[in-house]
Amino acid sequence: MRKWLAVIFLILLGFFMAKITSSFPFGKEKWGVSKHYVDRGIEENRGSNLVTSIVVNYRGFDTLGEVTVLFLAATALAFLLSTCRCRRRYERREASLIVKTASETLYPLLILFGAYIFIHGHLTPGGGFQGGTVIASAVMLMLLAHFTFHPNHRALSTVEGLAGITFVLIGFAGLIWGGSFLANNIIPLGQWNRLFSAGVIPLIYVAVGFKVGSELSGLITDMINTTKEE
Amino acid sequence: MILEYFMLFLLFLMLGLAIYAVETKDLLAAVVAAGFVSLVASIVYLYLQAPDVAMTEAAIGAGLTTLIFIIAIRKTERYEK
């Protein structure tokens, strides 16, 4: 009975969602604030990736909130894991030679690729979150393939804290010299489509990249290494 | 036109994989199927001209989430009772 009620509810929900969204003009005309972003975003921020301009500059305060939420989630998970009495269910086996060699070859390349993504966040698709995640997955690859690989936890949390403080300080610099929090007129904007352009946007995205990368790496290290040795 | 049929195929593939992930008793297979759903979703995002979202979906949905679930399975049990 409850199952069927759930199915009926889902069908009704889907029907009404489809009805509502079908009445929106999808990608046809823009008005209000989105029209301003599309028409004047590149002129105002000189970043060739408009998505980054919106995420880091116009909606920069939301991104700061997102980074804070990620930090809180990581802290809560670390706390939960420290009280966990998890035991290993499966015997940990040595990874094969192919996996080990491949992971050693891929590790620096993945770190480089992640850094490339967040340094070029204002030019090409991607940014701090994507680049940081790629770096964290590189660390995870090494952790899964090698027993002896232990990232320096203290260094990771120091980098994470410094990156978070950098983001907030850039915001306050905008408040003091630019007129509003995260204002993008404190350093020269430069020329469109160059690496050194778009004012503070690349600086913020590099900070976000470092923060997300070190945060997720630390989190994964915690998760893999909390299992008690017997 | 052929691209639209391909997208339709991808969407039904996502639907099938999602149903498989819910129904199967082997949790490892379920996690891999869920990761595959994210991978296909990132292709669909790319077709909808949202490369930023596609990269996030591929890196987080297909990469990190899958591996975190695998760590969780290693610490608990593989088969649903």
pLDDT bin (cut points 50, 70, 90) of residue A90 is: low
What pLDDT, on the 0 to 100 scale, is given for residue B72? 83
- CA triple A176-A180-A181, angle to 5 deg: 85
Residues of chain A contacting B59 with CB distance shorter than 8 Å: 130, 133-134, 137
Does residue B47 fall inside a structural domain? Answer: yes
CB atoms A117 and B55 under 8 Å:
yes
Indicate the SS3 state at residue A25. coil
Average pLDDT score over residue span A75-82? 84
Q: In Å, how far is A79's CA from the nearest CA of chain B? A: 16
What pLDDT, on the 0 to 100 scale, is given for residue A78? 82
Does residue B68 fall inside a structural domain? Answer: yes
CB atoms B52 and A125 under 8 Å:
yes
What pLDDT, on the 0 to 100 scale, is given for residue A227? 58
Per-residue pLDDT of A123-145, as tens digits, reads 888 888 889 999 988 988 888 88
Task: Tell me the percentage of chain A whose pLDDT exceeds 70.
Answer: 93
Average pLDDT score over residue span A142-158? 83
Residue A228 β-bridge partners: A87
Whether chain A has a CB inside 8 Å of the CB on B68: the answer is yes
Per-residue pLDDT of B26-71, as tens digits, reads 899 999 999 999 999 999 999 888 888 898 888 888 888 888 888 8
**How far apart, in whole angstroms, are the C-alpha atoms of residue A111 and residue A121?**
15
- Kindly give, in sequence order, each residue whose CB lies less than 8 Å from that of residue A182, ignoring residues fewer than 6 positions away: A57, A60, A61, A64, A170, A171, A174, A175, A200, A204
ipTM: 0.81
Continuous H helices in A24-175? 33-45, 50-52, 60-82, 97-119, 128-145, 153-173
Does residue B38 fall inside a structural domain? Answer: yes
Provide the residue type at A105 as one letter. T
Does residue B27 fall inside a structural domain? Answer: yes
Q: Which residues of A53-91 are buried (b: 16+ CB within 10 A; e: fewer)?
A: bbbbbbebeebbeebeebbeebeeeeeeeeeeeeeeeee
What pLDDT, on the 0 to 100 scale, is given for residue A91? 65
Per-residue pLDDT of A192-208, as tens digits, reads 777 777 778 888 888 88
Of the candidates A130, A144, A227, the beta carbon closest to that of B59 is on A130
Average pLDDT score over residue span A134-157? 85
Name the residue range of residue B50's domain: 2-75
Q: In Å, how far is B51's CA from the nearest CA of chain A? A: 6
Per-residue pLDDT of A4-21, as tens digits, reads 999 999 999 999 999 988
Alpha-carbon distances, residue A74 vs A115, A121, A154, A162, A215 (angstroms) = 22, 24, 15, 16, 7
Does residue B81 fall inside a structural domain? Answer: no
B79, B26 contact by CB (below 8 A): yes
How many structural domains are present in chain B? Answer: 1
Q: What is the 3-state secondary structure (H, E, C) of B33-74?
A: HHHHHHHHHHHHHHHCCCHHHHHHHHHHHHHHHHHHHHHHHH
Does residue B80 fall inside a structural domain? Answer: no
Task: Identify the residue with better confidence: A47 or B21.
Answer: B21
Task: Quote the pTM value.
Answer: 0.81
Domain ranges of chain A: 60-82+103-224
What pLDDT, on the 0 to 100 scale, is given for residue B63? 84
Residue B26 β-bridge partners: B79
Mean per-residue pLDDT of chain A? 83
**How far apart, in whole angstroms, are the C-alpha atoms of residue B7 and residue B24?**
25
**How far apart, in whole angstroms, are the C-alpha atoms of residue A179 and residue A168?**
15
